[in-house]
Chains A and B, each alone.
Chain A
Amino acid sequence: MTPALRALRAIVTREALRFLGQRGRFLSALVRPLVWLLVFAAGFRAALGLSITPPYTTYIEYETYIVPGLCGMILLFNGMQSSLSLVYDREMGSMRLLLTAPLPRWWLLLCKLLAGTAIGVLQCYAFLLIAWIWGIRMPWLGYLTALPALVVAGLMLGALGLALSSFVKQLENFAGVMNFVIFPMFFLSSALYPLWRMQEAGDLLHDICAANPFTHAVELVRFALYVQPNLPALGWTALAAVAFLGLSLWGYDPARGMMGQRA
C-alpha cells in the first residue's frame, strides 16, 4: 500500500471511529429524516397532490416522494457536520497535525472529504433500511444504482462544507452559516415539493430551486433509486462538487485563507 492510500485509510478509519463513538450523533442523524418521513409526510399527504412525473410511472404517496430528498438532507447535514468538526479540529490543533503530514495538501483534504462522504452514505442506507421496514420500498436494483448517486451527492455537499470551513474563522460563527446554508438549500429545492409545484408559486422561486445544486443532487438520487440515469443532474452535481472543492483548496492554501491568518 502506498503512503497516500495508507493516509486515506487512516483518515476514513478515524472518522468512522469518531462517528461510532458519538452515538448521539448517529441517532440524531437518523431521527431527523425519520421525523420528517413519519410525521411531516403523513400530515402533508392529504394536502399535496402529486402528478405522475419521471422517474415515477404510477401515482406515489408523498412519503415515497420525499425519501430521496431526505437522503439529500442526511448528506447535507453530514457535510455540514464534518465541516463543523473541521473548524473544531482547527481550533483544537488536530487539523495542523493532518496538514503537516508529508503528503500533498489537496490529497489530505480529499481524504477528509471521502471519509465524510463514506459516513454520510452509510447513514443514508441505514435510513433507507428503516424506510423499507416502514413499507416505503424502491426497486431492489435501485438500492444498488443509488450508491454512485449518493456518493456524488455526498462529495458535492461535503465539498461545500469543506469550503465553508476554510472561511469560517470560529466555531461560534458556524451556527449562523448553517442557518444560511442548510435551510435555504433544503427548502429551496425539489426535496419536499416537485419543481412544477414551485412554478405554481412563482417563476422566480422555481428558477432559484432549479439552479440550486441541492435540487440536482436530490434528483440524481431520485432517478438512481428507480434505476434511471439523470445525466443533467449528474453533470450539475459533479460540476458543483468540483467548484466547491476548488474553493476549499483555495481556502486552505497556506498563502491565503484561514490557516495563514490565524497562525
Chain B
Amino acid sequence: MSGLSVRNVTHRYGPRTALDAVSFDVAPGRFCALLGPNGAGKSTLFALLTGLLAAPPGTIAVAGHDIRREPTRALARMGVVFQAPTLDLDLTVAQNLRYFAALQGLSDRIAAGRIDRALHRLGMAERAGERARALNGGHRRRTEIARALIHEPAVLLLDEPTVGLDAAARAAITDHVHGLAREDGLTVLWATHLTDEVRPEDDLVILHKGRVLRHATAGAVARGAPLTEVFLGLTGEAA
C-alpha cells in the first residue's frame, strides 16, 4: 500500500526488547499519533523507520518501498522532523533549506522555487537571510517542518516535534500538521507523549514497553472518556 506500513517489527538492544512485534498501517491523508510514555520505544521505531538502525526483523514500507530492499527510494519518499534540532544555527534559513534540498537531489532551480513558496507559506520570506540562531523555538520547528516537505514526500514522520515549545507554538504546529494530512493528503506519523495533541478523528497507536496496546481512531479508543485518563489507565495497567 502507499502510506506507511509497519509489520511485525522487533528490535532488541542486547537482552532488552525495545520493540516487540509492532504492527500498524497509516493510510494516505491520515494523521496517526504514536502515543507512548518516555521509553515506550518511539525513538527506536523512528530510528528503524529512517534507516538509522539496521532494518529489523519484520517489514517497514514507506509509500510502497521496503526500507530493507529499497532504502534510498523509501528515504526519498519520507520527510523527517527529528526530536533533536537539526537546523545549522550558523547558517541562514535559506542556506539551511538549500543544503537539505541538495541532499535530496533537487536541482537549484526547482529548489529555489520550492524554498520560496515554503518560506512564503510560513510568513518567513523576509527572514530567509537571517541566521537560524535568530529564530525562536516555534519558528525553528516550523522551518524544520517546511524543510522536511521540500522534496514533496508522501510520508511525514515527526518525533515529538513540540518538545520545548510554548503552548501557542505547540497548538499552531499541531494544527499546521493536521492540515497537511487533511488538505495535502500526506501520511503523517506524529510521535508524542502528550494526549492533548491528539484529536478524536486521528488514528492512534498506543505504544508501551515496546508493544502496541491499542490501534484505532482516538475517538474509538477513548469511547467518550478523556483520552488522558484512558492513556494513563492503559499504560498504568500494563506497567
Contact = CB atoms under 8 A, between A and B. Distances in A.
Interface of A: 1-4, 6-7, 9-11, 13-14, 17-18, 21-22, 91-94, 96-104, 253-255, 259-261, 263
Contacts of B82: 93, 96-97
Contact of B103 (A7, A22, A255): A7
Contacts of B51: 99-100, 254
Interface residues on B, range: 35 or more
Interface majority SS on A: helix, strand, loop or mixed? Answer: helix
Nearest to B78: A100
Nearest to A94: B86
Contacts of B43: 263
Given A97-B86, A100-B80, A101-B75, A254 B53 contact: yes
Given A3-B105, A92-B84, A102-B104, 6 more contacts: A4-B105, A94-B86, A94-B88, A103-B103, A259-B53, A263-B47
27 contacts: A6-B102, A6-B107, A7-B102, A7-B103, A9-B102, A10-B103, A14-B91, A17-B95, A18-B90, A91-B84, A92-B86, A93-B84, A96-B52, A97-B82, A99-B51, A100-B52, A100-B75, A100-B78, A100-B80, A102-B72, A102-B75, A102-B76, A103-B105, A253-B54, A254-B51, A259-B53, A260-B54
Contacts of B84: 91-93, 96
Given A3-B105, A104-B72, A17 B91 contact: yes
A246 B75 CA distance: 24
A185 B181 CA distance: 55
Nearest to A261: B13
Contacts of A7: 102-103, 105
Interface in B79-97: 80, 82-88, 90-91, 95
B7 interface: no
A153 to B, nearest CB: 28
A233 B100 CA distance: 39
A100 B43 CA distance: 15
A253 to B, nearest CB: 8
B148 to A, nearest CB: 9
B50 A100 contact: yes
A95 B98 CA distance: 16
A101 B86 contact: no
Nearest to B73: A102
Which of B72, B84, B105 is most buried by chain A, counting CB atoms within 10 A of its CB?
B105
Nearest to B88: A94
Contact of B104 (A13, A99, A101, A260): A101
B23 interface: no
Nearest to A105: B51
B64 to A, nearest CB: 15
A260 B95 CA distance: 29
Contacts of A100: 50-52, 75, 78, 80
Contacts of A94: 86-88
A106 to B, nearest CB: 12
Contact of A98 (B72, B98, B103): B103
B235 interface: no
A17 B91 CA distance: 7
B85 A10 contact: no
A250 to B, nearest CB: 13
A18 B95 CA distance: 11
A96 B46 CA distance: 11
Contacts of A9: 102
A6 B105 contact: yes
A97 B73 CA distance: 16
A17 B102 CA distance: 15
B44 interface: yes
A93 B102 CA distance: 18
Contact of A96 (B86, B91, B107): B86
A101 B51 CA distance: 10
B102 A99 contact: no
Contacts of B102: 6-7, 9-10
Interface in B91-148: 91, 95, 98-100, 102-107
B129 to A, nearest CB: 13
Nearest to A92: B84
A96 B50 contact: yes
A21 B133 CA distance: 13
A14 B53 contact: no
